Chain A
Amino acid sequence: MLFHSSAYFWLFAATFAIHWGLLRTQRQRNVLLLLASLVFYANWNPWLVLLVLGTAIYDYRMAFWIESATAPGRRRTLLAAAIAVPLGLLAFFKYTNFLAASAWPLARAMGADPGPPSFDIVLPLGISFYTFETIAYVTDVYRGKIRAERSPLDYSLFLLFFPHLIAGPIIRPGRFFPQVRSAHRLDWSRVEVGARLFLLGLFKKAVIADQLALVVDPVFAAPDAWGSGAVWAAALCYAVQIYCDFSGYSDMAIGSAHALGIKLPANFRMPYFSANPAEFWTRWHISLSSWLRDYLYIPLGGNRRGTGATYRNLFVTMLLGGLWHGAAWTFVAWGAWHGVLLAVHRAIPWPAWTGARALHPFKVAATFLLVCVGWVPFRAQSFGDAATLLEKMFLPTAGAVLDPAVVALVTAILALVLAAHLLASFADLPRLARRLPAPVLGGALAAGLLLVQLLTPDAGGTFIYFQF
């Protein structure tokens, strides 16, 4: 069920009306939210609801045992078991074919005859996200940061809460549980903020990301045919497309949750305005990068075990972060690229003058360029395609060009995104919004929604991050 479908509108409207209109206790509301979440997930595949519920029940029990165990060895064993099962399920559903294909050259060298096996495995939506959430939960219980959740209802809701179920933001148990334990009152200010966020996300997704996909997809599908100009345009468009697609999804998720009285963490803070790769990762997919920091990079040793180990940990973290995105070597390459960028940025003793304010725009542009280069293997179908595209980007090559009218429209869309970023950077938009008379602001929201309806392309639909 997509956020910008009428099915979601009706599910959300019904949930909102019952949640605030009929139910009085938070427990009743949590039951409702869980039921709505089950309907939301079952709408895609009713059977795989059982998998999410099974994961929830398993780690719900494991957390109790971890909490009650006193011997460090037993606690560690229980933690390993609590992590191994959801991670094993993730590995099975997401990486079986990838592992089989990757191991195939070795098997062939050892004399195996038939081609690499291919298994018909359905990837459960959201498995990468809820697996990380359940790992965060049992780890936090192990570390003593939180107590094991007593209510199976609240724990199931933590994993299944529909606005964040499919593609995050990845929520932390310590921030979620307090919000569903005490009853809230309907706060129209939060509903208004939620509606504005939802509309913003809808605009990013339907009007910008889905439109740019019409230029990106054909170029990435046949890289050989296109000239350097078209390839550069497609790479830039993809950078903006994936940002608008994913941050649009996050905005809609956060907006929906806000209206239901639950605050989800921010996932993006204008990442393309970062002045270096390290800053980029504090602004891009924040809930994932902070998860990787807290549950992978720091447990690996972080920067506490010397320079060499720090670089290794950075690299391994980004490599696994890349693999998390998809079961293909192109994603691993993307992760490695960012690992290298972070390591190089850390290794260079930047002289003081590089911090000059006048250089900031150039640093932002350079970082954006490096990130765009990384998106090429991320989006390409294969290493061969990625190599062709990168070669065309850096060695001027003749080939098919984009229609001038298309170039003009693409430029206008990219300029609009840039202008919106600049406006959000230099103006206090929430304050401006509060100063507008209510009918004017309401009219602007309605006009925005009508514009979204008008400009949503026939093609498009599912979110890029749904495949992860």
Chain B
Amino acid sequence: MPTFRPRPSPARARRVLLAAAAAFLLGQLAIGAAWDRAPGYVRFPQGSKVRAAARRIGNEPYAAIFGTSRFRNLDLDAVRVGLAPALAGATPPVLQGSVLAGDPVIVDSLLREILAEGPGPALAVIEISPETLSYPAHWLMDHVTRIYTLRDLFGNLGEIAARGRLGDVAERRLLPASVYRRELLTWLTGRPPPYLHATRPEPQPSARRLPRRSPLGVPASTASPEPTPSTISGLRRVEKWLSDYRIGGSESRALEAILERCRQAGIRAVLVGAPVTSFQRALYTPVVEGHFQALLLELALAGVDVDFVDYRSRVPDALFEDNHHLNDEGGRYFGEILGREVIAPRWERRLAGR
């Protein structure tokens, strides 16, 4: 017996396609609209972890270190070692608040949220460098992913256009399911993709040989190594960032906002010029340096209390894994310096009520 097979209807097909297109667009718009209200652990899981760590410290006064991936490798134990001689028995808790692409825009947002949830730090160490204070900001797209609402996007439209990323921003808002899939999946499953992998167990590493230290804590071998391929590619990227260098966009506004926020909350803020290799310092041309110093001067002239310590040339090249990221030994070395020379004296002054 022949089976009944309904004939294809073009009108119905058109309805199906229209319904599909409408449902798809509505779904995307809904995800885009929900994105502004998404909890921090969806949009910015790293920031969420920093906030959770701050909450765990509670009401005890603490020092917080904010910055980019350059400060992520700081060894907190080494910071405590640096604090110990001056503050024996009274070393404060130290919060590692550095996140990937943690420029002043991100730090400002983090600080605002930390202050909304608790007393916040008593001392804030904030990484700055010419790269994190440029116009247009290099990490704009990270800001769009992590913190910017639709309103912020309109507020920064000029800078987004100057960065040539209007199309990307439109895609992030119009096709969020695709662009934010990583964040959405992390939220839905509790861990980031990929979920399928075949990771071969690595052989147990033999004890790593660390450079021998001199009595003063400086590694014995600090001769400048030849730049590695990752250093060279990093330098090329930074060179691009610093070409036609200007200041004055969202990042410098955020720096002002951070300092003002700290003043209002009674937080002592110290800006630290992040250590970089000599190769990268060579890219800080007089023009770049002039703009950078001018911003700090402008802030001081505007009556903002600017406490800036420049450690850009403090760490030997041998202690970097590329052009500007400290290696493990560098993280220990600079962590100790930061504890001893930056946090300890300011904490002592704080305890003395000065």
Contact = CB atoms under 8 A, between A and B. Distances in A.
Nearest to A220: B198
Interface in A301-345: none
Contacts of A212: 196
B34 to A, nearest CB: 13
B184 interface: yes
Interface in B12-28: 12-24, 27-28
Chain A interface mostly: helix
Given A189-B9, A189-B13, A192-B17, A454 B196 contact: no
A441 B182 CA distance: 28
A215 B196 contact: yes
Interface stretch (A355-363, A381-389, A402-410): A402-410
A435 B9 CA distance: 12
Given A406-B196, A447-B23, A450-B24, A442 B178 contact: no
B10 interface: yes
Given A443-B20, A453-B178, A188 B11 contact: yes
A386 B183 CA distance: 39
Q: Please tell me the size bucket of the interface on A.
A: 35 or more
Contacts, number: 125
A404 to B, nearest CB: 13
Nearest to B10: A188
B23 A403 contact: no
Contacts of A442: 15-23
Interface string A144-188: 000000000000000000000000000000000000000000011
A415 to B, nearest CB: 15
A16 to B, nearest CB: 12
Given A222-B200, A406-B198, A446 B181 contact: no
B185 interface: yes
Q: Please tell me the size bucket of the interface on B.
A: 35 or more
Contact of A191 (B13, B171, B185, B197): B13
B181 A455 contact: yes
A211 interface: yes
B194 interface: yes
A457 B197 contact: no
Contacts of B171: 6
Contact of A443 (B3, B23, B184, B199): B23
Which interface residue of B22, B175, B194, B199 has the most chain A CB atoms within 10 A? Answer: B194
10 contacts: A189-B10, A192-B17, A195-B20, A226-B200, A230-B198, A441-B19, A442-B18, A454-B185, A458-B193, A459-B194
Given A214-B197, A214-B198, 18 more contacts: A188-B11, A211-B196, A215-B197, A217-B198, A402-B198, A405-B195, A406-B197, A431-B5, A442-B16, A442-B17, A446-B19, A446-B20, A446-B27, A453-B175, A454-B185, A455-B185, A456-B178, A458-B193
Interface of B: 3, 5-6, 8-24, 27-28, 171, 175, 177-178, 181-182, 184-185, 193-201
